[in-house]
């Protein structure tokens, strides 16, 4: 096994602030919506926390966006341009997640610092970060001050529509989180990907090059 530096510091800082913030947003959002079922904190506290964390995460988003826009690491989010190879690699990955993993086969994608994601991760993370997250932040911003953003709220069809978009995205994110939390346990050990997102370094198979002579097969 050798170590490769796969998650640069700004990505790790963004990611853990984002992950923690999302959990607080989900909890405070549920409290705002279901106050009548259980009042863990007051309505005002839940709204204040939700708004503050929302703004922190909007600012934090630009750390992620800025990092990828202004460094050569943007390559990790660029899909393969050869469409035949792209579909072949995606299908290979679907087969792996679908059943090969249960047969004990190894992940066919071998990450490098400039191509750390497999084609399915690229697609999923692009949709989440470039579509879902901005939709959620913007709809939240419009609901935060409907008067100031009256033009946009009216354009979208009124408060009910904006609110529905915000709630539907909440459901989407909750689903994404369940899937994300399962997929991140599929490294070569249960916690390998989580460790990598904490330290920056991922352990990858180097075909036994770094093994002691006695360990080589
Ligand atoms: C407790 C919650 C979470 C945990 C434990 C977690 C864990 C991880 C881990 C271990 C990775 C690296 C695996 C990989 O490379 O695919 C990762 C990557 C990623 N996660 Fe999460 N995550 C959490 C919540 C979230 C949330 C809420 C979002 C978005 C809304 C998110 C978005 C992402 C993205 C976009 C990446 C790729 C980052 C990059 O390298 O550019 N995660 N996550």
Asked if pLDDT for residue 83 goes beyond 90, the answer is: yes
Dist CA 85 CA 89 (whole Å)? 6
Q: Is the CB of 194 under 6 A from ligand 1?
A: yes
Dist CA 109 CA 99 (whole Å)? 15
pLDDT at site 208: 54
List of domains in the chain: 2-215 (1.20.950.20)
* Contact (Cβ atoms closer than 8 angstroms) between residue 120 and residue 93: yes
24 falls in which pLDDT band (50, 70, 90)? very high
What is the mean pLDDT of the segment spanning 76-83? 93
Quote the tokens at residue 87.
């579909």
Dist CA 190 CA 215 (whole Å)? 23
Report the nearest-CA residue for atom 37 of ligand 1: 125
Backbone angles phi, psi at 61, to 5 degrees: -55, -35
Report the nearest-CA residue for atom 1 of ligand 1: 19
Q: For the chain, give the percent of residues with pLDDT over 70.
A: 95
Q: Is the CB of 60 under 6 A from ligand 1?
A: no
Q: Is the CB of 129 under 6 A from ligand 1?
A: yes
pLDDT at site 13: 98
Q: Is the CB of 57 under 6 A from ligand 1?
A: no
pLDDT at site 209: 56
Dist CA 77 CA 11 (whole Å)? 13
Atom of ligand 1 nearest to the CA of 21: 27
Q: Is the CB of 193 under 6 A from ligand 1?
A: yes
Cα of 146 vs centre of ligand 1, distance in Å, is 31
Quote the tokens at residue 102.
């249960």
Q: Is the CB of 11 under 6 A from ligand 1?
A: yes
207 falls in which pLDDT band (50, 70, 90)? low
What is the mean pLDDT of the segment spanning 119-132? 97
């Amino acid at each position: 096994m050798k170590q490769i530096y796969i998650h640069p510091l700004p990505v790790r800082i963004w990611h853990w602030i984002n992950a923690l913030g999302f959990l607080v947003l989900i909890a405070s959002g549920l409290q705002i919506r279901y106050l009548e079922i259980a009042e863990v904190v007051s309505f005002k506290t839940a709204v204040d926390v939700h708004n503050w964390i929302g703004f922190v995460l909007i600012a934090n988003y630009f750390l992620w966006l800025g990092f990828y826009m202004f460094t050569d690491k943007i390559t990790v989010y660029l899909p393969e341009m050869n469409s035949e190879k792209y579909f072949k690699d995606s299908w290979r990955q679907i087969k792996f997640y679908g059943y090969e993993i249960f047969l004990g086969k190894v992940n066919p994608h071998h990450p490098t610092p400039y191509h750390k994601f497999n084609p399915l991760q690229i697609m999923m993370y692009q949709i989440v970060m470039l579509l879902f997250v901005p939709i959620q932040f913007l709809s939240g911003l419009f609901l935060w001050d409907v008067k100031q953003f009256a033009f946009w709220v009216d354009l979208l069809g009124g408060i009910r529509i904006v609110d529905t978009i915000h709630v539907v995205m909440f459901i989407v994110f909750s689903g994404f989180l369940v899937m994300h939390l399962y997929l991140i346990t599929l490294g070569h050990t249960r916690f390998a990907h989580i460790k990598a997102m904490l330290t920056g370094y991922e352990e990858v198979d180097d075909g036994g090059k770094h093994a002691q002579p006695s360990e080589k097969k």
